[in-house]
Structure formats: C-alpha cells, structure tokens
Amino acid sequence: MLQDQNLEENLHSVRMLGLKLPTDPRWVNIAEKTIDEILIDHAFCEQKAATSGITLIVKYPDKDSVVRELAPLVAEEWGHFRKVLKEMERRGIKMGPKRKDEYVVHLKNLMMKGGSREQQLVEHLLINAIIEARSCERFRLLTLYCSDADLREFYHEFMVSEAGHYRMFLDLAKEYMPDDYVKERWKYILDGEAKIIESLEMRGDRVH
C-alpha cells in the first residue's frame, strides 16, 4: 500500500516536471545502501553542471540572455559542488577518479545534428533542462524517503534549485526559437529520455 502511495506521489511530481516516466521509488532503497557513491556522483554532477554553463557562455557570448542567466547559475552550481564536498568531508568520503555518465551520453545522442546556430543553442538548453528535471525528481525522492534525516534536509535545497534551473533553461530556449519549435523538440527529448531511463539499469551509485 505504501509503495503504491509513493508511486502515485512520484507520478504527480513527474507530471509537474513534464517527465514521461517516473523513477521507481525503490531506487531510494537501493541508493541508501551505497549513499557514499550517490554523494560522490552528485558532486560530479554539480561540477559538470557548472562546466556546462561556462561552456555555453563561452560559445554564445553574443546571446545576452544566455550570459545574464547562466553567469549566476554557474556560481550557484559551483556553490552546490562545494556544499556536496563539505558533506562528503564530514562523512569521510573522497571523490575518486572521474566517472562516465552513461545517462548524459545517451541524452546527447538525442540532439539534432546541424541546423542554425540558434537551433544548436536550443538543443543544448533542452538537454540541460531535462537533466535538471530528472535531477529534481531524484532529489525529491531522497527528500521524501531517505531514512537519513540529515540527508532529507540536505537534498531539499537541491530539489528546489533544480526545479528552477529546469524552468530557466526552457524559458531561455523559447527566447531563441519559436514556441512551437521548442515544444516539438522538447517533446522529442522527453520521449527519448523516457526510453533511456527505461533501458538503463536502476543503479544505487548514480544520481541518474
């Protein structure tokens, strides 16, 4: 009964974010067994989010909204990286070697090849949006169901932040291409992301 309730709550969260497929709430049970690995992976995710923002600013310095919106996002993501590192240090956890993010590798295969410079910018913005949306959903699960009270509180801030970033990336995309175009591409990416989630093994050592 509780599992059914948890699934229903997560379905509501997924609908709010636009995601097509909810994470099985049992992911939290698996993740709790390797929470050190989740924190390590989370640190790498925040690092990559900051780097992605910098890359877009460097690549599109003439796009005023990109620079204006992503400059503070980069600072926030790097602050999150430092916050996760601090929590890891408190728990005696070290980062270790760089990890391959299989989820993101598959997502990038959904990007349209070619097109105008603005179309390519939109592809990058939408991929960032879907990553933020899925991260928000996973952090929400940890906030609700993680047995560690400290981590439930810890992940609430990240959940709220990722939700805001998801909306920001979508809004930015609509500044550079028409709404109908963005909606069509977003639907394609949402559908593709659901297939990726369905095909990937549910791992307790990865955020995605």
DSSP 38-83: HHHHHHHHHHHHHHHHHHHHHH-TT-HHHHHHHHHHHHHHHHHHHH
pLDDT value, residue 7: 46
Per the domain annotation, does 172 fall within a domain? yes
Question: Does the residue 19 lie in any domain?
Answer: no
- Percent of residues, the chain, with pLDDT higher than 90: 73
Domain membership flag for residue 13 = no
Length of the chain: 208
Whether residue 130 lies inside any domain: the answer is: yes
pLDDT score, position 205: 84
Q: Which domain holds residue 129?
A: 36-91+104-199
Q: Within a domain: residue 121?
A: yes
CATH number for 132:
1.20.1260.10
Burial of 58: CB neighbours in 10 Å, binned 0-12, 13-18, 19+? exposed
| 31 is a domain residue | no
User: What are 151-199's pLDDT values in tens digits?
Assistant: 999 999 999 999 999 999 999 999 999 999 999 999 999 999 999 999 9
Asked if residue 57 belongs to a domain, the reply is: yes
Tens digits of residue pLDDT in 85-117:
999 999 999 998 888 889 999 999 999 999 999
C-alpha distances (whole Å) from 30 to each of 86, 171, 208 are 23, 34, 13
- What is residue 195's predicted lDDT score, i.e. its pLDDT? 96
Statement: residue 15 has pLDDT above 60? no
Looking at the structure of the chain, the number of domains it has is 1
In this prediction, residue 201 has a pLDDT band, given cuts at 50, 70 and 90, of confident
Looking at residues 56-83, what average pLDDT do you find? 97
